[in-house]
Amino acid sequence: MKLDSTCTSALPVVTMPTCSTPPVLAGQVALVTGANSGIGKGVALALAQAGADVVVNYRDGREAAESVVASIAAAGRRGLAIQADVSDERAVVAMFDRAIRELGTIDILVNNAGLQMDSPFERMTLAQWNTVLAVNLTGQFLCARESVREFKRRGVRPEISCAAGKIICVSSVHEVIPWAGHVNYAASKGGVMLMMKSIAQEVAPYRIRVNSVSPGAIRTPINTAAWSTQDAYDDLMRLVPYKRIGEPEDIGRAVTWLASDAADYVTGTSLYIDGGMTLYPGFETGG
Ligand code: BGC
C-alpha cells in the first residue's frame, strides 16, 4: 500500500470554541525559541495563524528568522525576531525584557530550541554532554523561569485567556525511549519531562499551565539523515506504526491546542505526537 506523507500540511489549524473569543489565540503574545527552522518555525506560524503575535527567537540564522517574521506579518500578526542563546542567562533575561517592552507581555512560551551532538558513549566528550544539557535542559529552565515571573506579575486577564500563562516544552519520544549513541540528548529530554511536571505542580495554583509535546520523527534539519534517502525512510518506518514521517505542522496544531483555552484543564502532561513510535513497534508482528 502506498501511503501519502504530505496530507497533513493541508489540514487547518485548530479553531474550537473556547471561553476567549475566536481566533483562539487572539490578543496573545507567544515566544518560540529556536523558531527560525524546523519544529520551531512550524509552531511559530501555527500560533500566528491562530491569532497570536509571535517572538521568533534564534541563535544563528538571522535571515531565516526574518523570513519567519515576514510570514507572520503575512498572516496579519506581529512578529519580532530576537537573537539569544537560550543557555545564556543574561541573553534570556534581555530577550524577555525586550519582548515585553515591545509587545506588552508574554502569554505563551514554547520552549523549543534544542540540538543533538551524537557520539558513541565512550567517545562522548564533556563538551558534547555539557552543550546538549545547557541548551536542551538549562535553556528550557531559564526561559520557563522568566515566563513564570511575567505570568505571575500580570495574572489572569479573563477576556484574553482563562490562564495567566501557558508553557509548552518541546520534549521528545526520547524522554521515555532510551537512545544508544545519543545519551546526552536522551538525558536532556528525560530531564525536561520531570522539570515540566515539577514546574506544572508548583505554578498550577497561579493558573499557569505547563505541558510538553513529545515529537517522534519529524521532517526537520535535526534528523535529515533519517528521512532523506528512500532506504533511510524505509528503515525509519519500521519504528513508526502509522507509516509516515511527521511534519512540523503536526506539532504546530498540537501546540496551538495546548496553548488555547480548549486545553484549560490540561497541565503537567506530555502529549506524544509520534505516529505510534512509543507503542513498542517491535511488537507489531507478534511477541
Ligand atoms: C530526534 C530525532 C529523531 C526522533 C525520533 C527526536 O527527538 O531529535 O533526531 O529522529 O526523536 O527518534
Selection from 106, 44, 34, 32 nearest residue 75 by Cα = 44
- Does 185 qualify as catalytic in the annotation? yes
pLDDT digits (tens, 9 = 90+) for 239-250: 999 999 999 999
**What is the distance between the alpha carbons of residues 173 and 97, in angstroms, rounded to a whole number?**
33
pLDDT digits (tens, 9 = 90+) for 147-193: 999 999 999 999 999 999 999 999 999 999 999 999 999 999 999 99
The pLDDT of residue 19 is 46
pTM: 0.94
What is the rounded average pLDDT of the residues 205-221? Answer: 98
Choosing from 169, 172, 274 the residue with most ligand 1 atoms within 8 A of its CB, the one to mutate for a pocket test is 172
| CA 40–ligand 1 middle distance (angstroms) | 14
pLDDT digits (tens, 9 = 90+) for 97-124: 999 999 999 999 999 999 999 999 999 9
If one compares 7 and 255, the residue with the highest pLDDT of the two is: 255
Q: Is 223 touching ligand 1 by the criterion CB < 6 Å?
A: yes
The pLDDT of residue 20 is 43
Q: Is 220 touching ligand 1 by the criterion CB < 6 Å?
A: no
Q: If pLDDT is split at 50, 70 and 90, which confidence band does 287 have? A: confident
Q: Which three cell numbers stand for residue 91?
A: 541573553
What is the rounded average pLDDT of the residues 207-217? Answer: 99
Q: Is 275 touching ligand 1 by the criterion CB < 6 Å?
A: no
Residue 6 pLDDT greater than 60, yes or no: no
Q: What does each C-alpha distance from 77 to 12, 34, 119, 206 come to in angstroms?
A: 17, 19, 41, 28
Q: Is 222 touching ligand 1 by the criterion CB < 6 Å?
A: yes
The pLDDT of residue 91 is 98
What is the rounded average pLDDT of the residues 117-141? Answer: 98
What kind of architecture, by CATH, is found in domain 29-273?
A: 3-Layer(aba) Sandwich (3.40)
The pLDDT of residue 12 is 52
Cis, peptide link before residue 23, omega less than 30° from 0: yes
Q: Do the beta carbons of residue 144 and residue 210 sit within 8 Å? A: yes
Q: Where are the domains of the chain?
A: 29-273
Q: Which three cell numbers stand for residue 211?
A: 505541558
Percent of the chain with pLDDT over 90: 91
Percent of the chain with pLDDT over 70: 92
